[in-house]
Copies of this chain bind each other. A is one copy, B any other.
Amino acid sequence: MIPLYDDLALARRTVLRRVPLDEIEAPPALRESIAHVFGERLTPDAAVQRIIRDVRERGDAALREWGYKLDGYSGAALEVTQDEIDRAVAHLDPALLDALRLAAGEIERFHARQSRNSWVDFNAEGALGQLVVPLRRVGLYAPGGSAPLPSSLLMAAIPARVAGVEEIIVCSPPQRATGQVAEVVLAAARVAGVQRVFALGGAQAIAAMAYGSASVPQVDKIAGPGNLFVVLAKRAVYGVVGIEALPGPTETLVIADAQADPRLAAADLLAQAEHDLVASAILLTPSRAMAEAVQAEVARQIERLERAEIAAQSLAARGGVVLVPDLAAAFAIANEYAPEHLCLLVEQPWQYVGLIRNAGGIFLGERSFEVLGDYVAGPSHIMPTGGAARYASPVNVDDFRKIISLIGLNEAALRRIGPAAALLARAEGLTAHAAALQARLGDEQQ
């Protein structure tokens, strides 16, 4: 069910190997669908480029057409009205609405602690500082289609709201079954304080937010996870707008010692594996007994799952129980792999925090597990995937604000540091720079 690797070198070459975005092969179904829709065998990237170009050129008309061609819906209105959102909130199971509100509250409380203030340092030479300024308009993508993910919407929208973003818009594809954006997504948007929701999915939604159309306003930055088309589109529009990351398939690395509960380890691996066919759930353990117990538990528990087929396939293709020499080796591998989620099912997990350099989020102990983080713990569950934890952060408040440098120096500063600037300018061959300095340094009046 879940493969066991007792050859660490083999595991490194296979299940632990990182595949760059442009090496990921499009699944056959996607390739067929592209050939069908575009009439030729385009790469996913070329297909996405074509959609983006069309949306730039033809705006709303292109948005409607691609929605129909790719996702099979013919939405009359691109924007969901406030009335529709009101109705979705009123209509939602009150317990589910309460759960959304509880999650939103925890996410807000966590991110409100991430303080960062403008600072200006005044002294006899004037002032220098960094202004911290929220972005004005942000566009979020909330996956919808087959399985609407209201949690992802909360996890991006609330940090943006905490940052002080003026206007948050959301694009989410209508559900195939109803042609409407899922009620639970609309309710999440309201709970999160989102201003406008558009019934738009895929690359065309990203293009609309990047370039604007008659219906969709251009945003300053786009955030949120999506399928391959969404991620490729985000990469393509980066530079026209900001993007927070290129979130790929979700992944977890569980480190378990000999004392861990194999039932919980297996449950956590299965929760990861059920996401989709490309999800990755890996366990590292120095204990062969633990490895085998987890294997057996996975086989036992998977029987009861609704999404057993998906979980089985992703465990077979991208999952694994990997035997490591000791816990130190496990943490070294974790730093190299840089997992999105790093879950420590070990005694005294706090002892190991200082060893961890690369991870999106660290889950400490068996009561503090990934599924809590997926919904209600507080930190955003949109975390760097594919090894990006080497250099990137989970979605956080700073994704939605920026720095403006402030330079307010006076004559005293100019006299002290100006001559050095003139020397450096001349060394770079930039004599007009030197002249702009000389125009001040040669001029004694203040």
Contact = CB atoms under 8 A, between A and B. Distances in A.
A198 interface: no
A289 to B, nearest CB: 20
B424 A151 contact: yes
Given A360-B404, A392-B402, 17 more contacts: A102-B417, A131-B362, A268-B436, A270-B432, A270-B436, A274-B431, A275-B430, A307-B431, A307-B432, A362-B407, A367-B409, A367-B410, A369-B436, A371-B425, A375-B424, A378-B407, A389-B404
Contacts of A246: 238-239
Contacts of A95: 423
Interface in A424-438: 424-425, 427-433, 435-437
A334 to B, nearest CB: 11
Interface of A: 20-21, 95-96, 98-100, 102-103, 106, 110, 113-114, 116, 119, 121, 126-128, 130-131, 133, 135-136, 147-151, 184, 220-221, 235, 238-242, 246, 263-264, 267-268, 270-271, 273-275, 301, 304-307, 311, 349-350, 353, 356-380, 383, 386, 388-394, 396, 398, 402-411, 413-414, 417-421, 423-425, 427-433, 435-437, 439-440, 446
B305 A417 contact: no
8 contacts: A99-B424, A130-B396, A149-B428, A184-B427, A267-B435, A274-B433, A362-B406, A371-B425
A388 B305 contact: no
Given A368-B408, A368-B410, A242 B391 contact: yes
A240 B21 contact: yes
A81 B130 CA distance: 37
B113 A116 contact: no
A351 to B, nearest CB: 12
A234 to B, nearest CB: 10
Nearest to A354: B131
A420 B264 contact: no
Contacts of A417: 102, 106, 372, 376-377
B375 A421 contact: yes
Contacts of A116: 116
A373 to B, nearest CB: 5
Q: Give the interface SS of chain A, mostly helix, strand, loop or mixed.
A: mixed
The copy count of this chain in the complex is 2
A358 B270 CA distance: 46
A17 to B, nearest CB: 14
A21 B440 CA distance: 36
Contacts of A126: 367-368
A407 B361 contact: yes
Residue in A102, A135, A407, A410 whose Cβ sees the most chain B Cβ within 10 Å? A407
Contacts of A380: 405
A54 B17 CA distance: 21
Contacts of A150: 424, 427-428
Given A372-B421, A375-B421, A386-B239, A273 B432 contact: yes
B408 A365 contact: yes
A71 to B, nearest CB: 18
A374 B147 contact: no
A383 B386 CA distance: 28
B403 A394 contact: yes
Contact of A271 (B96, B131, B356, B433): B433
B420 A366 contact: no
